[in-house]
Structure 1
Amino acid sequence: MRASMGIKELDEILNGGLPIPSALLILGEIGTGKSVLCQQFIYTQAKEGFKCTYFCIDNSPFDVRLNMESLGWDPKEYEEKGLIKFVDLFVGREESSDEEYQGNARDYDELVATLRKFFTQNERFVVDSISSIAFLHGEAKAYDLLQRIHGWILKTRSVGIVNAVKGMHSPSFEIAIQQAVGNTIILERVGEDVYLWVAKTTRTSHKSGKFGLEIDEEGIKILL
């Protein structure tokens, strides 16, 4: 069994998609398409009938929905069907949210409890991103949370993506979070171009090398 990333060329690179269960880390520089990759994955999986949860930490659910709609992916239909849940953990929010699903990312224990609750109820997940958690609570707690997430994914036989901003953390933390999960994709910018490469996979082979990445009005394209 494989889970499609929603990008034909990336599924080819991953030899058919992500194995189930899987935890994937997307580590990339600012503006390289990490969140778009996550949103494309969630939208594709909801279309296939899987219950999906998007933990909105760096941006509000309102902004995530707007970005998805700008790329032609309207999540509202799948929200109404119960196939997509946006959990408002936006670190910039100071007051309670109008969102049906929410929590407080600034309270570490509440954050863990909120994530755990949804991991037991759904099948596909995005945590966007672990970098804000590292800044709020320190790298040790962010690493602990990532290990918990990996454990929940294995226990529930689900698929989850966690993204992190490359260059915002200590080198040892960036190595540790890659070690903590089974699969890692790196996004890097060279001049005006963005490249994707698979650093590691578990229980699947993958194509090696760096591949060009473009974002257009329909989402991400990989140049094989």
Structure 2
Amino acid sequence: MVERIVTGIAGLDEILGGGMPKRNVVLLSGGPGTGKSIFGQQYLYNGLLRGEPGILVVLEEHPVQVRISMSQFGWDVKSYEERGLFAMVDAFTAGIGEAAKREKYVVRDPGDFQLLVDTLRDAVKDVNAERAVIDSVTTLYITKPALARSMVLQLKKVLSGMGCTSILISQVSVTEKGFGGPGVEHAADGIIRLDLDEVGGELKRSIIVWKMRGTSHSMRRHPFIITNKGIEIKAGETIKIIGERYE
């Protein structure tokens, strides 16, 4: 029997056959505006509601801004941080600025990968994290794409080894068909792709699970929406993109 983590994201557990297999490292890839950060934050907050501590590593946004964004969906993490059940690892500010001085976990040099891994390890240990999200891994190897696969493997070793079920957010350009970074798709246990396509002058959102080690999953593309409560996947509906048309 596969041990699973229930994501709590409407429709996702359904298309994953009951949830993400425990300790899996899943690459969540998509272009700008597809909802990747919201997806990761929702996954972490649902974990907190289920008594599963989590950590969020932020590489592209100020931690203060991330907390504000989360609270707009009703995901207030402050009380969980105070109780030592949730931690944010700041790999964005390099500790510069007043607000950054109040952060507990700061990567002083975000370009130093080993330092990031060590800080991540400390945070996971301190909160006893069961869920982790890195937003985004692309930032780590944008200037050194040849290291992409080895970085993902190292993160996987640390996170899985410490008992976390993790989402690594990966950015791709709008037209790119890959998953962001050479070889990263082979290093991950799972790949979920979020897309935003223009169909008849309107933007439509869809999700597809490319692979998920340890479980069978839907092989179809499903529509999803983003509401004031987060992401909702229409698990009972499937779509095909044919040129400029959805079916």
TM-score, normalization by structure 1: 0.91
| Alignment-derived partner of residue 208 in structure 1 | 219
Deviation at 1:170, TM superposition (A): 10
Q: Does the residue aligned with 2:117 lie in a helix, a strand or coil?
A: helix
Over residues 188-217 of structure 1, what are the superposed CA-to-partner deviations in whole Å (9 max), with x where a residue is unaligned?
A: 111101110000010101011111121111
Aligned residues between the structures: 222
1:129-168 matches, cutoff 5 A: 129-136=136-143, 138-167=144-173
| Alignment-derived partner of residue 221 in structure 1 | 232
Q: Does the residue aligned with 1:8 lie in a helix, a strand or coil?
A: coil
Please say if residues 139 and 173 of structure 1, whose CA atoms lie closer than 8 Å, have aligned partners that are also in contact. Answer: no
Query: Judging changes above 3 Å, is the alpha-carbon distance between structure 1 residues 119 and 84 closer, same or farther for their aligned structure 2 residues?
Result: closer
Regions of 4+ moved over 4 Å: 168-173
Please say if residues 54 and 86 of structure 2, whose CA atoms lie closer than 8 Å, have aligned partners that are also in contact. Answer: yes
Name structure 1 gaps, 5 residues minimum.
none
Name structure 2 gaps, 5 residues minimum.
236-247
What letter corresponds to residue 164 of structure 1 in structure 2? S
The answer as to 2:110 corresponding to 1:105 is yes
Q: Which of the pair is proportionally richer in helix?
A: 1
Over residues 96-117 of structure 1, what are the superposed CA-to-partner deviations in whole Å (9 max), with x where a residue is unaligned?
A: 6221111131223322322233
Please say if residues 215 and 221 of structure 1, whose CA atoms lie closer than 8 Å, have aligned partners that are also in contact. Answer: yes
The answer as to 2:206 corresponding to 1:195 is yes
Please say if residues 170 and 179 of structure 2, whose CA atoms lie closer than 8 Å, have aligned partners that are also in contact. Answer: no
What letter corresponds to residue 157 of structure 2 in structure 1? G
Over residues 139-170 of structure 1, what are the superposed CA-to-partner deviations in whole Å (9 max), with x where a residue is unaligned?
A: 13332221011112332232011001113889
CA radius of gyration, larger in: 2
Single out whichever of 23-32 and 71-80 deviates more from structure 2: 71-80
**Match 1:30 to one of 29, 32, 37:** 32
**Match 2:58 to one of 51, 56, 63:** 56
Please say if residues 37 and 135 of structure 2, whose CA atoms lie closer than 8 Å, have aligned partners that are also in contact. Answer: yes
Q: Does the residue aligned with 1:152 lie in a helix, a strand or coil?
A: helix
Tell me how far apart the structure 2 counterparts of residues 65 and 206 of structure 1 sit (CA, whole Å).
Answer: 32
Please say if residues 112 and 145 of structure 1, whose CA atoms lie closer than 8 Å, have aligned partners that are also in contact. Answer: no
| Alignment-derived partner of residue 95 in structure 1 | 96
TM-score, normalization by structure 2: 0.83
Deviation at 1:175, TM superposition (A): 5.3
**Match 1:67 to one of 66, 69, 79:** 69
Indicate the percent of aligned positions where both proteins have the same amino acid.
30
Please say if residues 172 and 178 of structure 2, whose CA atoms lie closer than 8 Å, have aligned partners that are also in contact. Answer: no
**Match 1:184 to one of 181, 185, 191:** 191
